[in-house]
Amino acid sequence: MDWKSRPSSRIRAIGRSDVADILKLSERPEIISFAGGLPDPDTFLVDEIARVAAEVLTDTGRAALGYGPTPGITPMREWLAERMTGWGRPTRVAETLVTTGGIAALDLLAGVLVDPGDVVVVGEPAYLAALHVFRSYRSQFAGVEVDQLGMVPDSLETALAELQHRGVKPALIYTVPSFQNPSGATLPGDRRRQLVDIAARFGVPIVADEAYRDLRFEGTSPPLLSALDPDNAIHINTFSKFFNPGMRLGWITAPAALIEPLIVAKQTQDQCSSTLGQYMCRAFARHGFVDRQIARAIEIYTRKRDAMVRALRTHMPPGVTFTRPEGGFYVWLTLPPGIDSGALLDTAINRENVAYVPGSSFFHHSEGQRHLRLCYSYVAETTIDEGIARLAGLLGHALDNL
């Protein structure tokens, strides 16, 4: 059997698996990898997780080890509704859906809202796994500019107006409002209000991916897009960044009328998310451990962010600029004209033993060659300076040979 010719057109549309390639690098100990956006295992409260696991198995073992309701167990959905309400988006249980992580949440929404050929509006650079999800549903893309403050409202309005002029109504707008992956940018409050107003005026829903919202190192959090417009802005989130990714849990908050078809779609995706994981997560939160782990993560990631920024300031050659995020996992580099981050990647990995993600991975077409993403969350703090020095040496050599 020629299995290479067997994958469906839906899977072929995704193209190369950038995410799988990034995750492979974490298994190579000789590589200082700034590639994968993985949480630091030192942030995990292992003893506390063991405690709640024993508690859950003792108190609700039979229920926790069985199948659960497709939208999630009621105590978990009640807690999510309380959490969202506390964040400024009044939420009923019927407006929540537990998912098997953030990507599963996005996949459900794409399956319900996107037909083949539909246009999805994305802020670019965009989260590369989100691009993969939308490609798998054979969507087309309209790119909107992302600058140091996130998605640019004027660029969004222009894109929607042009599509409207062509008689095209997009399926949705996708954005990462807080500590954006990959740029690290956070939308300020005034831009958030502009974006929800523009989206509502054109009648296009916004999917706000808030995976990094809790990991704020400084400053204050702007309002959720879904708090500004609960009817049109859909909130998705994951427990992978502030609990742990091994539980495979995330959630969607949206109007109940949208949750209903999402439940139908979930029955064909995984039937139900981890019941044991949900009981454990709810117990973890009830004991106050979620807040404790978030505080621990912020402490660790702040140190790593600061170490990376110091190293970049010390080692990078003239002409290289970079962001300083207020939270999250990522720093975004802009290189001088003539330098292609993708062309340098093989040399970086195999000669310098340092890895990053080329900027072109975060655009739906051929852009981003002068950019690259660095992640500080997973790499050991003690190796950040050495890794940045290696990368700076490679870039300096490339500049000398222009």
Residues 6+ apart with CB under 8 A from 171: 113, 114, 115, 118, 119, 120, 139, 204
85-137 tens-digit pLDDT: 999 999 999 999 999 999 999 999 999 999 999 999 999 999 999 999 999 99
Distance between CA atoms of residues 246 and 17, nearest Å: 21
Instruction: Please report which confidence band the pLDDT of residue 232 belongs to, taking 50, 70 and 90 as the band edges.
Output: very high
The pLDDT score that the predictor gives to residue 112 is 97
The pLDDT score that the predictor gives to residue 76 is 97
Mean pLDDT of 312-320: 97
The pLDDT score that the predictor gives to residue 170 is 98
The pLDDT score that the predictor gives to residue 40 is 96
User: Are residue 258 and residue 349 in the same domain, yes or no?
Assistant: no
| Lookup: tokens for 331 | 């720093």
User: Are residue 139 and residue 63 in the same domain, yes or no?
Assistant: yes
Of 21-30, 156-165, 172-181, give the lowest mean pLDDT range. Answer: 21-30
What is the residue-averaged pLDDT of the chain?
A: 94
User: Are residue 21 and residue 54 in the same domain, yes or no?
Assistant: no
**Angle at which helices 102-113 and 256-269 cross, to 10°:** 110
**Percent of the chain scoring above 90 in pLDDT:** 89
Mean pLDDT of 55-82: 96
Residue (of 255, 224, 222, 221) closest to 237 by Cα position: 224
382-396 tens-digit pLDDT: 999 999 999 999 999
The residue out of 229, 252, 287 marking a domain boundary is 287
User: Are residue 59 and residue 29 in the same domain, yes or no?
Assistant: no
Q: In 263-338, at which residue ranges do the beta strands (DSSP E only) sit?
A: 321-322, 330-334
Q: Considering only residues 189 and 4, tell me which one the structure prediction assigns the higher pLDDT.
A: 189
Residue 281 DSSP SS3: helix
Q: Is the pLDDT of residue 2 over 80?
A: no
The pLDDT score that the predictor gives to residue 188 is 98
Mean pLDDT of 205-214: 97
Distance between CA atoms of residues 299 and 217, nearest Å: 8
Separation in Å, CA 169 to CA 139, 140, 199, 385: 13, 12, 11, 47
User: Are residue 80 and residue 129 in the same domain, yes or no?
Assistant: yes
CATH number of the domain that 265 lies in? 3.40.640.10
DSSP state of 216: B
User: Are residue 209 and residue 116 in the same domain, yes or no?
Assistant: yes
| Lookup: tokens for 117 | 């050929």
Mean pLDDT of 207-224: 97
User: Are residue 148 and residue 223 in the same domain, yes or no?
Assistant: yes
The residue out of 236, 271, 287 marking a domain boundary is 287
User: Are residue 354 and residue 365 in the same domain, yes or no?
Assistant: yes
Q: Is the pLDDT of residue 179 over 80?
A: yes
The pLDDT score that the predictor gives to residue 242 is 83
Q: Is the distance from CB of 68 to CB of 272 less than 8 angstroms?
A: yes
H or E element in which residue 225 lies: helix 225-228
The pLDDT score that the predictor gives to residue 400 is 92
The pLDDT score that the predictor gives to residue 367 is 86
Domain count, the chain: 2
User: Are residue 250 and residue 306 in the same domain, yes or no?
Assistant: no
Instruction: Please report which confidence band the pLDDT of residue 178 belongs to, taking 50, 70 and 90 as the band edges.
Output: very high
The pLDDT score that the predictor gives to residue 8 is 80
Residue (of 206, 235, 252) closest to 100 by Cα position: 252
The pLDDT score that the predictor gives to residue 363 is 93
| Lookup: tokens for 73 | 């167990």
User: Are residue 10 and residue 128 in the same domain, yes or no?
Assistant: no
Residue 230 DSSP SS3: coil
CATH number of the domain that 382 lies in? 3.90.1150.10
Distance between CA atoms of residues 366 and 151, nearest Å: 19
User: Are residue 37 and residue 127 in the same domain, yes or no?
Assistant: no
Domain housing 259: 46-287
The pLDDT score that the predictor gives to residue 20 is 65
The pLDDT score that the predictor gives to residue 9 is 76
Q: Is the pLDDT of residue 22 over 70?
A: no
User: Are residue 81 and residue 35 in the same domain, yes or no?
Assistant: no
The residue out of 238, 255, 287 marking a domain boundary is 287
